[in-house]
Amino acid sequence: MKETNTKNQKSKNSTEQRDSKENNGVFKTYKTLPYNPKLKEKAKKLRKAGILSEVLLWKQLKAKQLKKLDFHRQKIIGNYIVDFFCSDLSLVIEIDGISHSFKNDYDETRDAYLKNLGLNVVHIVDKEIKYNLDGVLMYLENIYNDLLSQQPNTPPLRGTPRSRR
C-alpha cells in the first residue's frame, strides 16, 4: 500500500509542477517543450479519426515495437499537433497526404518552429506507408541509427504530457 501512496504523491507533485509553469497564459511548458492545452480536444479527435496511413504506421510504432522507442500520436507541441513524436530521439514524424500539397507555407513555418526547439522533423508521404510500409520502417531505422550516432551523452528530451482518458 505504501508504494501506491508514493506513486500517487509523485504523480500529484509532477502534475503540480507541470501545471504551475505558465507562459503568457497560453502555453504550459512540459519539461522543455511548449504545450498549448487548448489543443487537447482537437488532438484527441485527430487520434480517433484514424487516417489510414497514420493507423498503419501507428500499429508499427506503438508499444515500443520500433527499436524499443516510445512514440506518441497526435502530440501537441506549441500551437501545433504533430502526427508522431519520439522524445528519446527528439523526433517528429509528419505524414504528408494530399492535403499537404496545399499547405507548403504552413508546413515550412511549423517545421522551422519545431527545428528551432531542437527537434528533428521527418516527412513521409502517405502513399509510401500504404504501399511500402517495410521500406518506411527501414527508413525510420536508418534515421534512428543516424540520430543515435549524432547525439551527445545527454538525457533525452521528453515530450508533452499524455492526454488522460
pLDDT, position 31: 61
| pLDDT at residue 64 greater than cutoff 60 | yes
What percentage of the chain has pLDDT greater than the value 90? 59
Neighbouring C-beta atoms of residue 117, cutoff 10 Å: 14
Among 13-22, 97-106, 147-156, name the most confident range: 97-106
Could you tell me which residues are beta bridge partners of residue 30? Answer: 33
| pLDDT at residue 38 greater than cutoff 60 | yes
Domain ranges of the chain: 24-150
pLDDT digits (tens, 9 = 90+) for 80-122: 999 999 998 999 999 998 765 667 899 999 999 999 999 999 9
- pLDDT category of residue 139 using cuts at 50, 70 and 90: very high
What's the whole-number mean pLDDT along residues 125-153?
90
pLDDT, position 104: 84
| pLDDT at residue 9 greater than cutoff 60 | no
Question: Which fold is adopted by the domain 24-150?
Answer: Endonuclease; Chain A (3.40.960)
- pLDDT category of residue 161 using cuts at 50, 70 and 90: very low
Q: What is the DSSP string of 81-128?
A: EEEEEETTTTEEEEEE-GGGGG-HHHHHHHHHHHHHTT-EEEEEEHHH
pLDDT, position 101: 61
| pLDDT at residue 42 greater than cutoff 50 | yes
| pLDDT at residue 65 greater than cutoff 80 | yes
Q: Using only C-alpha atoms, what is the Rg of the chain?
A: 17
